[in-house]
Structures are given as C-alpha cells and as structure tokens.
C-alpha cells in the first residue's frame, strides 16, 4: 500500500483569494480599527494613530524578517524590552608582567643589544623569552 507524503507543509493555504487566514485576520483587524478611528475621532487623531496601525497591520501580514513572520520578530522585541537586564563586568587579571615603578625608579640604562644571525636564532630567542615570561607569573 502506498501513501502520499504531503509536500510544502511550511506554506500556509490561501483561504481568501491571495491571502492566508493569518494575513486576512491581520488586515481585517487593522482595517476595522482604522475604520472605527476614522468615524469616532477627529481626522488628525485618525492620522496619528491610524497610520502606524495600518503600517503595523501591513507588516504583520506581509513583511517577513529572516524568512520568519513579522509577528515572531515583534514578539522577540517585546520580550527583550520586558525582560530584566543585568550587566556585569568582571576585570580579568591576565597580565604577564606587573610593573609598579614610579617615574623616579625607572632605570635610565639603554636596552641591551643582541646580535642575531638569521631567522633561526631569532625564533629560538623569541621562544626562550616567551618561556621565561610564562615562568615569571606573579
């Protein structure tokens, strides 16, 4: 016995013409609230409240964010704004050397010059200095 496996299960069915059920509800709710505002409030208040409401209804119905519905994005924004936030900063002490010199204690001697012949000596000297620095952890 063979059974048909459903294909394209993530795509919502078109119920009202080119609109899905969710799109129809968003647009119908936004349009209904806009109509109520138009008939019950002065025109300037209708523009101030109705225009953002229409933009929100249009975004909820048609605008995807990262291939997900705008409602998920709006829910994440509201959840982030409502959540308690605690910012902690902990200073890390990972310094290899600590120098507690005052300017009068700094020696005025020039640094020693080391003659190197080739890159092999330079690499071995760098490795030796790294090992010494790691052993001197204070």
Tens of pLDDT, residues 74-104: 999 999 999 998 888 877 766 555 556 666 6
pLDDT of amino acid 91:
72
Of residues 119 and 9, more confidence is placed in 9
d(CA 132, CA 126): 10
What does pTM read for this prediction? Answer: 0.54
pLDDT of amino acid 103:
60
Averaged over 13-21, what is the pLDDT? 84
Averaged over 126-133, what is the pLDDT? 82
User: Is the distance from CB of 27 to CB of 16 less than 8 angstroms?
Assistant: no
Averaged over 13-32, what is the pLDDT? 89
Q: Where are the beta strands (DSSP E) in 2-138?
A: 14-16, 19-20
pLDDT of amino acid 124:
81
Residue 26, judged by CB atoms within 10 A of its CB (0-12, 13-18, 19+), counts as buried
Of residues 116 and 51, more confidence is placed in 51
User: Is the distance from CB of 37 to CB of 53 less than 8 angstroms?
Assistant: yes
The pLDDT mean for the chain works out to 82
pLDDT of amino acid 85:
87
- Most confident option among 7-11, 20-24, 94-98: 20-24
Encode pLDDT of 52-68 as tens digits: 999 999 999 999 999 88
């Amino acid at each position: 016995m063979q059974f048909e496996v459903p294909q394209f299960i993530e795509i919502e069915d078109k119920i009202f013409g080119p609109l899905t059920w969710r799109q129809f509800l968003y647009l119908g709710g936004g349009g209904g609230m806009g109509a109520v505002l138009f008939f019950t409030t002065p025109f300037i208040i209708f523009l101030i409240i109705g225009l953002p409401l229409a933009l929100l209804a249009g975004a909820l119905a048609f605008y995807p964010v990262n291939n997900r519905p705008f409602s998920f994005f709006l829910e994440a924004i509201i959840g982030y704004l409502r959540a308690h936030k605690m910012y902690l900063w902990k200073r890390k002490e990972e310094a290899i050397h600590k120098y507690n010199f005052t300017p009068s204690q700094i020696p005025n001697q020039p640094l020693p010059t080391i003659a190197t012949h080739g890159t092999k000596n330079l690499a071995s000297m760098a490795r030796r200095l790294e090992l010494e620095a790691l052993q001197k952890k204070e």
